[in-house]
Structure 1
């Protein structure tokens, strides 16, 4: 019995070592281990709105306003399947998947078999949009490229639309 335990311990050591090694790799390099997961998130980026032509309602004077504002954007990766195609104009065809999900005797049958039920091409997109007002704070009498002079005290409100939430959605190719 003792010899059996020693032989089993030596067989389990490589399995234990590979589990620990996999855990360490996934801890330090999560992108490697999460390649099959959806990673669609909302981030912010700086956008420069340049030289919007504005006509003052009171004086009818024309000015050009600019600003750099922080806006939300959707970015990330989503599970998506495509196949190369010689007949498609862009060189790829969408793979359509059919998930039956019927349980028979404790087993799931028919998962991920080719079918025509649902498009599998997924893109990271905005779930819904929100409007908000940003202030263009650098107003000039001429466009910046033409050497416009800064007009102190002028501010122009501009309404922008940006994502309020992001998720993986069916692509509209």
Structure 2
């Protein structure tokens, strides 16, 4: 490959004009979070917590920067972000509940707490600022 061609490709890569399929690695990955939930009655009657397995969006998406005579900055920027294309709602049960004094609650009805959460089921690259929903 001639030296001029090599330097043109390097310049295009630096400006983000040449996209590579390996640059996009947006995927849905399993993760674990720790949830702490207070009683919803407006007073601290109990607090419940637990470690819950959830999905998360993670990865990189190829963004584009190129010279432009029509933009004030002289560059046209197209930013792409990795995020969910759909959220599913599910109910998880927190099994470690405590009263305001820190004593574990084991009585039926107060020893557990159901919590609704929404998690990604499919992650994709989207133009930043635009939502799929």
Q: Using structure 2 for the length normalisation, give the TM-score.
A: 0.65
- Structure 2 spans left out of the alignment, 5+ residues: 1-19, 67-72
SS of equivalent to 1:62: coil
Matches within 5 A, 1:94-113: 96=76
1:49 aligns with 35
Map 1:68-147 → 2, pairs under 5 A: 68-82=51-65, 96=76, 120-142=78-100
- In 2, are the aligned partners of 1:80 and 1:121 still within 8 Å (CA)? yes
Q: Which runs of 4+ in 1 moved over 6 A?
A: none
1:157 aligned residue: 114
More helix by share: 1
Contact 2:23–2:62 (8 Å) recurs in 1: yes
Looking at structure 1, the residues matched to 64 and 127 of structure 2 have their Cα atoms a distance apart, in angstroms, of 12
Shift of 1:135: 0.6
Check 1:53–1:121 CA distance in 2 against 1; reply closer, same or farther (3 A cut).
Answer: same
Q: How many residues align?
A: 101
CA RMSD of aligned residues (A): 2.8
Structure whose CA Rg is larger: 1
TM-score normalised by structure 1 residue count? 0.51
Shift of 1:36: 4.6
